[in-house]
Amino acid sequence: MLLTSVLLGALALPAWSLVEYSDAERETIVELVQQLQERHYAKLDYDDELSSQHLDNYIDSLDSGKMFFLASDIAEFEQYRTVMDDEIREGNLDAGFAIFNRFHQRLQDRLEQTVNTLPDAVAAMDFEIDETISLDIENRQWAKDKAELDDRWRKQLKNQVLSLRLADKPEDEIVPTLEKRYKRQLKSVKQYNNQDVFQIYANALTELYDPHTNYLSPRSTENFNINMSLSLEGIGAVLQMEDEYTKVSSLVAKGPADKQGELHPADRIVAVGQGEEGPLEDVVGWRLDEVVELIRGPKDTVVRLEVIPAKSKSTDERKVITIVRNKVKLEEQSAQKKILELPSGDETVKVGVIDIPAFYIDFDAMRRGEKDYKSTTRDVKKLLEELQEEGVDGIVIDLRNNGGGSLQEANELTGLFIEYGPTVQIRHSSRRVWRDGKRLKSPYYDGPLVVLVNRLSASASEIFAGAMQDYQRAIIVGDRSFGKGTVQTLIPLTEGQLKITESKFYRISGESTQHRGVLPDIEFPSMYDTEEIGESSLDHALSWDNISPIRHSNYGDLAPFLPAIQSQFQERSGHNPDFIYLEDQVALAQQTREIKELPLKESARIALRDSQEAKALSIENKRRKAVGEELLTSLERDDEESGEENEQAGIDGDEADAEAREEEEADDVLLEEAGYVLIDALLLKRQGLALAQDKKAAN
């Protein structure tokens, strides 16, 4: 390890702070590279070009905000750019550990300096000075010297203090809060070991293949089931780290957080409290497993999360969400039905809705040979029969927020709507392609069909929606889906495991669902930021491509009707106050995303916040005026008044939340619009048949 010693010697690091790799990790990295090259779908060679990318990605993994390394450090690391691939094949991890030890020293020094000078630094802050902090990290350059880096930290700390002040944190609690935060980070930093370093270094490589290929250290492997169980028992949320924040990746359908309704993907968790009254503990900078441990807890207990909403550009806006922990039950994820009665001219059309929150199947009951085991397809088949008996004119399948599940169920469900035929193509890294679908002819529902998707419809949802679109069996409406079209498998290594992408999904049209997702025939406004959510938002995601299509039937020949349906949708939505409201919210969110810097002058920051709130209030009042409701003077006041009215009416918070959710469901403008698209298709098809019959009679 001569190279490591030379690099670190200039820093005169104390021996106890050095982190060194083990013989087991030498063997593991050789195995990992071999598996990546032989079994990953992308078929990338770990060569000089990938070595160069590995170096950049590793440095970014350690210091994405350019807050610790100096430009001189980065220049020194150039010696590794094209040699890491050769060294790693021999089990040599010198480069990765040398770079980490430099980072480790910089990090410890900075945190210790921040903790030691925090009270004086905060006391010296002047919030009347007209200065800003840049949010454009991607274009930030490495600091030329320590003075430039010190100024970045001064501004970052000032921004944190200002955010706490504007979030109504008492002045005398600001320094203790930040002091506790940085001391906690410093304690975690001092606990870094060789497994932590190896995992960061290995994943800086695996992520270049695709974002779903990851190395799991022995500790991460042990915590993998714990983290997964958090999504099934606790609050029902999948979490990830982003910089110093714990970010909500997705919610489990019908889980406690999903049913509570206030926590959303891309929200950042900044504090966790136990029970209704327990103090909120700041978790900024904590390790993911430590935050998970705080959030998990016994069934029926309360956890409170303080979050920065996804739509907020700065960290000033905070929201406390109270969730009762519980276990996600299979029956709660079951498909549900309802009927929309929608006026159309002089008649009322009955539209059946089947909400499918997940593609589920009780494998254990199926293996035991139970006749009535639960599955998506079995439940939907029963609901279809009931809706037809109730005389509906067509069906809307609601797949919004359905993150997927059983591939088998996606295939089986497709079989309820086609006579027979393939559903999906799966291409292995060996380039062998096999097909799955409905093999035998059988009865199917052949009535009008619309499938509603959004940005959180993923995986199995995309397979079903794509098949329905390719067969021209249904009109797809909503937002572009998530775009996850890959399949992973776990490979044991000498130490830990490799989760690797081995296969890719393709539609029967030959198009991949990867990256692009399923594009709706009729596009609705999206409330989700595609730069934050979806496969295309992930670095190094595998690209969209296509393979040979499969010959298949076209059931509806819908293409000729789509222009007319699109025109009618635009005409209707252009006069719908709720749709206009959604579009205005999307436009405001886009404006917020374009903010590249925040003022550190308190009056300017408050003015920015007030401006954003005024725009949101204007959008709300525009909708209220259009529908004849009383205008608001403040969104915050409206929330307070609603709480007071509920209290006076004897309605507790849970009842009020339940009623609000019911009202939200009743006023679901997107679902209603999906129903109207179905009606348009139904009427156009009837008109087409009538014209065809008239033409036939005339001949």
Q: C-alpha distances in angstroms, 409 versus 378, 380, 535? A: 9, 11, 22
Q: C-alpha distances in angstroms, 549 versus 154, 326, 451, 465, 470? A: 58, 45, 22, 17, 10
- Mean residue pLDDT across the chain: 87
Same-domain status, 115 and 246? no
* Residue 361 confidence (pLDDT): 87
Same-domain status, 307 and 342? no
Is the residue at 640 inside a domain? no
The span from the CA of 454 to the CA of 265, in Å, is 13
Q: For the residues 83-92, what does the mean pLDDT come to?
A: 96
* Residue 635 confidence (pLDDT): 76
Same-domain status, 308 and 319? yes
Among the three residues 303, 327, 351, which one is the final residue of a domain in this structure? 327
Is the model's pLDDT at 639 over the cut of 50?
no
The least confident of 401-405, 469-473, 603-607, 673-677 is 401-405
Is the residue at 461 inside a domain? yes
Q: For the residues 177-204, what does the mean pLDDT come to?
A: 92
Q: Is 484 a catalytic residue?
A: yes
Phi, psi (rounded to 5 degrees) for 111: -65, -40
Count of positions (residues) in the chain: 699
What one-character DSSP code corresponds to residue 368? T
Is the residue at 667 inside a domain? no
Enter the tokens of residue 255. Answer: 């889980």
* Residue 236 confidence (pLDDT): 85
Beta-bridge mates of residue 451:
397, 476
Q: Is 344 a catalytic residue?
A: no
CB distance 672 to 353 below 8 Å: no
CB distance 436 to 420 below 8 Å: no
Phi, psi (rounded to 5 degrees) for 450: -125, 140
* Residue 292 confidence (pLDDT): 85
Same-domain status, 75 and 111? yes
Residue 457 belongs to a domain with what CATH number? 3.90.226.10
Tens digit of each residue's pLDDT (9 = 90 or more) over 532-566: 889 999 999 999 999 999 999 888 778 888 999 99
Tens digit of each residue's pLDDT (9 = 90 or more) over 281-293: 999 888 888 888 8
Q: C-alpha distances in angstroms, 81 versus 30, 85, 171? A: 19, 9, 48
Q: For the residues 136-163, what does the mean pLDDT come to?
A: 95
Is the model's pLDDT at 656 over the cut of 60?
no
Q: How confident is the model at residue 153 (pLDDT cuts 50, 70, 90)?
A: very high
Same-domain status, 139 and 19? yes
Is the residue at 509 inside a domain? yes
Tens digit of each residue's pLDDT (9 = 90 or more) over 443-489: 999 999 999 999 999 999 999 999 999 999 999 999 999 999 999 99
Among the listed residues 210, 355, 398, 470, the single catalytic one is: 470
Same-domain status, 200 and 222? no
The least confident of 67-71, 292-296, 576-580, 644-648 is 644-648
Burial (CB count <10 Å: 0-12, 13-18, 19+), residue 447: middle
Among the three residues 262, 296, 327, which one is the final residue of a domain in this structure? 327
Q: Which of 517, 456, 478 is nearest to 670 (CA)?
A: 478
Residue 270 belongs to a domain with what CATH number? 2.30.42.10
Q: How confident is the model at residue 226 (pLDDT cuts 50, 70, 90)?
A: very low
Tell me the torsion sign for CA atoms 411, 251, 378, 299: positive
For 392-458, the DSSP string reads -SEEEEE-TT---B-HHHHHHHHTTTSSSEEEEEEEETT--EEEEEE-S------S-EEEEE-TT--
Is the residue at 410 inside a domain? yes
The least confident of 2-6, 277-281, 550-554 is 2-6
Burial (CB count <10 Å: 0-12, 13-18, 19+), residue 520: buried
Is the residue at 257 inside a domain? yes
Question: By three-state DSSP, how is residue 199 classified?
Answer: helix
Same-domain status, 306 and 373? no
Among the listed residues 231, 459, 503, 573, the single catalytic one is: 459
Question: By three-state DSSP, how is residue 323 classified?
Answer: strand
Is the model's pLDDT at 94 over the cut of 50?
yes
Q: How confident is the model at residue 653 (pLDDT cuts 50, 70, 90)?
A: very low
Q: Which residue has the tokens 């809706």?
A: 387
Among the three residues 307, 327, 347, which one is the final residue of a domain in this structure? 327
Q: For the residues 613-629, what does the mean pLDDT come to?
A: 92
Q: Is 459 a catalytic residue?
A: yes
* Residue 699 confidence (pLDDT): 55
Same-domain status, 317 and 458? no
CB distance 220 to 199 below 8 Å: yes
Is the model's pLDDT at 644 over the cut of 80?
no
Categorise residue 168: left if φ over 0, alpha if ψ from -120 to 50, beta otherwise: left
The span from the CA of 255 to the CA of 230, in Å, is 10
Same-domain status, 347 and 303? no
Is the residue at 356 inside a domain? yes
Same-domain status, 490 and 521? yes
Same-domain status, 249 and 335? no
In this prediction the pTM is 0.85
Q: For the residues 582-607, what does the mean pLDDT come to?
A: 91
Overall number of domains in the chain:
3
Same-domain status, 417 and 307? no
Domain limits for position 422: 330-557
Is the residue at 219 inside a domain? yes
* Residue 330 confidence (pLDDT): 61
Among the listed residues 457, 484, 521, 680, the single catalytic one is: 484
